[in-house]
Structure 1
Amino acid sequence: MRSITVSSKYINKKLEYVLKSEFPNMPISAMYKAFRKKDIRVNGIRVKEDYLVNPGYKIDIYISDSIIDGKPLKNDSEMNMGFTVVYEDSNILIVNKDQGIPVHPDSDQQYNTLIDNVKSYLELKGDYSPKNKNTFVPSLCHRLDRNTGGLVIIAKNEEALKTILDKIKNKEVKKYYQCLVQGHVEKKSETLKAYLEKDSRKSRVFVSDAKSKNSVEIITKYRVLSYETNYTKLEVELVTGRTHQIRAHMAYIGHPILGDGKYGSNQFNKSMGMKTQALWAYKLCFDFTGKSCLDYLKGKIFEVVPGFSLPKTKI
């Protein structure tokens, strides 16, 4: 925790500008996470990053000193930035992303994204130096929706990035999700095929059995894990990986994801007490073939316990 008094050079300046100026080594993502958690106060009041300050104002920053000063981490528990580390070596990092965090900057959120936080994590560990123009910038190998939690692979060098992208393209990285869907799914397992068309203006996709000019084929496999009173727990394997594929495909067959306000039923979600979508990328299987710099990962399986909320009520 750190406290400072605003000096005379910061007259009517935005709080984020003052903090960036006073603490140049503090990761930007850590600062914006603190704003989101209301861990930065001015004169005892919780404020946002665009709050205007003046000389004499007292700023309290409830972030650990090591992060404020940009010191290497002793362990990753020092920095809770929207993910936990599942696996890490010199080539790749696999994290379990929290729900509600976009994987990269978009029109709705420019800071405190997963990739920002990963860069900060690696920077504080001493594994990444953004000041070095020749250093490789940690890169996402695939994406998850903002409100989908789960496993994401990040490459730490160019060769690893190319390898993982090739493996994903060649279906040598198998991605499995767990989800809760409305109603009872009749068949205990099935391979679903359809066509998906993206509407960027509406930020959603549409699924159909008929191919159109702008649609792409989608293939989604599922198997029933359990039947509950009025919903089903599924394991879903993404054969193709398209925008909102699982959410839209399950809704198309009449079984939308619980808590999904875009493709599901708001009335049903409300009756079940579901405010966030019950969808989690919980398992990755590295079914590698051929030769690559990641041969040592052949046959590896990475799995986490889904972190989505369960229904609070039954109707």
Structure 2
Amino acid sequence: MREYLIGKNDEGNRVDRFVSQVLPRLPKSLLYKSIRLRRIKLNGKRCEISTRLREGDVLRLYISDEFFSDAPEEKRFLLAPAVVDILYEDDNILLADKKPGLLVHEDESEQVDTLIHRIQHYLYDKGEYRPEEEHVFAPALCNRIDRNTGGIVIAAKNAASLRILNQKIKDRELHKKYLCIVHGQLPRPSDTLRAYMVKDENKNQVEVFDSPAPGRRTMVTKYRVLDEKGRFSLLEVNLITGRTHQIRAHMAHIGHPLLGDTKYGRNRDNRDTGFRYQALYSYALTFSFSTDAGILSYLDGKTFTVPDVWFQREFEEGKIH
């Protein structure tokens, strides 16, 4: 028998989800059978699959030891540097300014130096993340940014904040603005572009079309020209829809690919520019809640902006033209 005292970051989890996380080797069929046969008890009583856990609850699992792991969990995040460019931080969230070239999560290459590992290491050093005291929770990212794109990434320090932010992002109550440099000069100082896209999962690339068709998803992109110099334009972009590679693919589709973008642009156009990554930055984030945000209500109406986007500075100084 194993006993788990439910902590603050476990609260709100369904019984089946919690057990699946602490016992990943336990087959789902055996999990449900154990609940049905009262081999999983909450506060000494029978519980249901969908029962929500509360802080202070005691969950007892009368399950074979073979499904438990007594090996200490490897703290892989400690192998990453505890270096984070912090734009804002409080008790619940952290806003990181991710630089181009840094992965947000581990991928198939299993690279340890990722943004989430850096954040976890940073919080561990501060004493705000104690993995030995957590059953299932670890500080987590609420949004992603491509490796070669820079900008604001939101990290939740506790489970309640993670749940709220995930829902707010789903409900589109957080708004981001982007800066980018494109090849050429736009025909209008501002515009709302509409097109239709299909993603090739194997190539991780988007194909864009002017007309709708079955399987094509609508993409809507607003832009405003901030400055023009020679063969390049500096834009502020607002995404009405949130599709894969939307800004990169949409701007390339209208004949103005991003500077440094080798996937949607042309190599010969970028060859002599010195740009290793596409000139794209998620530089502003606004919390605009239309529904209750619980412990994060204090963020409503606040906007956070990256103070110095390197390519914008170089553009304005005339170093990119």
Report what 1:226 is aligned to. Answer: 227
Report what 2:305 is aligned to. Answer: 303
Report what 2:56 is aligned to. Answer: none
Q: Give the drift of 1:99.
A: 0.6
In 2, distance between residues paired with 1:25 and 1:238? 40
- Structure 2, unmatched stretches of 5+, are 1-71
Q: Give the drift of 1:314.
A: 6.7
Query: Scaled by the length of structure 2, what TM-score is found?
Result: 0.70
CA contact (8 A) 1:230 1:314 kept: no
In 2, distance between residues paired with 1:301 and 1:112? 29
* Alignment RMSD: 2.4
In 2, distance between residues paired with 1:303 and 1:314? 23
Q: Which structure 2 residues correspond to residues 40-51 of structure 1 after superposition, within 5 A?
A: none
User: Which string of whole-angstrom CA distances, capped at 9 and with x for unpartnered residues, describes residues 143-162 of structure 1?
Assistant: 11100011011112222122
Question: Is 1:138 the equivalent of 2:139?
Answer: yes
In 2, distance between residues paired with 1:154 and 1:107? 22
Q: Give the drift of 1:31.
A: 3.4
In 1, distance between residues paired with 2:259 and 2:171? 31
Q: Which structure 2 residues correspond to residues 165-204 of structure 1 after superposition, within 5 A?
A: 165-204=166-205
Question: Is 1:265 the equivalent of 2:270?
Answer: no
Query: Per the alignment, in what secondary structure is the counterpart of residue 264 of structure 1?
Result: coil
Query: One-letter code of the match for 1:154?
Result: A
User: Which string of whole-angstrom CA distances, capped at 9 and with x for unpartnered residues, describes residues 236-259 of structure 1?
Assistant: 112222211111111111111100
Report what 1:31 is aligned to. Answer: 79
Query: Per the alignment, in what secondary structure is the counterpart of residue 131 of structure 1?
Result: helix
| Greater Rg by CA | 2
Report what 1:208 is aligned to. Answer: 209
Q: Which structure 2 residues correspond to residues 68-107 of structure 1 after superposition, within 5 A?
A: 79-80=82-83, 83-107=84-108
Question: Is 1:287 the equivalent of 2:302?
Answer: no
CA contact (8 A) 1:184 1:231 kept: yes
- Structure 1, unmatched stretches of 5+, are 1-23, 34-78
Query: One-letter code of the match for 2:180?
Result: C
Residues 109 and 221 (structure 1), Cα distance of their counterparts in 2 relative to 1, 3 Å cut: farther
Q: Give the drift of 1:103.
A: 1.1
Residues 256 and 143 (structure 1), Cα distance of their counterparts in 2 relative to 1, 3 Å cut: same
Report what 2:279 is aligned to. Answer: 278
In 2, distance between residues paired with 1:314 and 1:233? 10
In 2, distance between residues paired with 1:157 and 1:215? 37
In 2, distance between residues paired with 1:151 and 1:32? 20
Residues 109 and 222 (structure 1), Cα distance of their counterparts in 2 relative to 1, 3 Å cut: farther
In 2, distance between residues paired with 1:31 and 1:137? 16
Q: Please, which moves more after superposition, 262-271 or 286-295?
A: 286-295
In 2, distance between residues paired with 1:96 and 1:115? 12
Query: One-letter code of the match for 2:309?
Result: P
In 1, distance between residues paired with 2:120 and 2:191? 39
In 1, distance between residues paired with 2:78 and 2:249? 34
Query: Per the alignment, in what secondary structure is the counterpart of residue 133 of structure 2?
Result: coil
In 2, distance between residues paired with 1:306 and 1:266? 24
In 2, distance between residues paired with 1:100 and 1:148? 7
In 2, distance between residues paired with 1:125 and 1:278? 34
Query: Scaled by the length of structure 1, what TM-score is found?
Result: 0.72
Report what 1:239 is aligned to. Answer: 240
Q: Please, which moves more after superposition, 210-219 or 305-314?
A: 305-314
In 2, distance between residues paired with 1:26 and 1:125? 19
Residues 259 and 285 (structure 1), Cα distance of their counterparts in 2 relative to 1, 3 Å cut: same
Query: Per the alignment, in what secondary structure is the counterpart of residue 107 of structure 2?
Result: coil
Query: One-letter code of the match for 2:158?
Result: N
CA contact (8 A) 1:84 1:95 kept: yes
In 2, distance between residues paired with 1:146 and 1:256? 18
User: Which string of whole-angstrom CA distances, capped at 9 and with x for unpartnered residues, describes residues 140-180 of structure 1?
Assistant: 11111100011011112222122212222222211001010
Residues 117 and 212 (structure 1), Cα distance of their counterparts in 2 relative to 1, 3 Å cut: farther
Report what 2:11 is aligned to. Answer: none
Query: Per the alignment, in what secondary structure is the counterpart of residue 271 of structure 1?
Result: coil
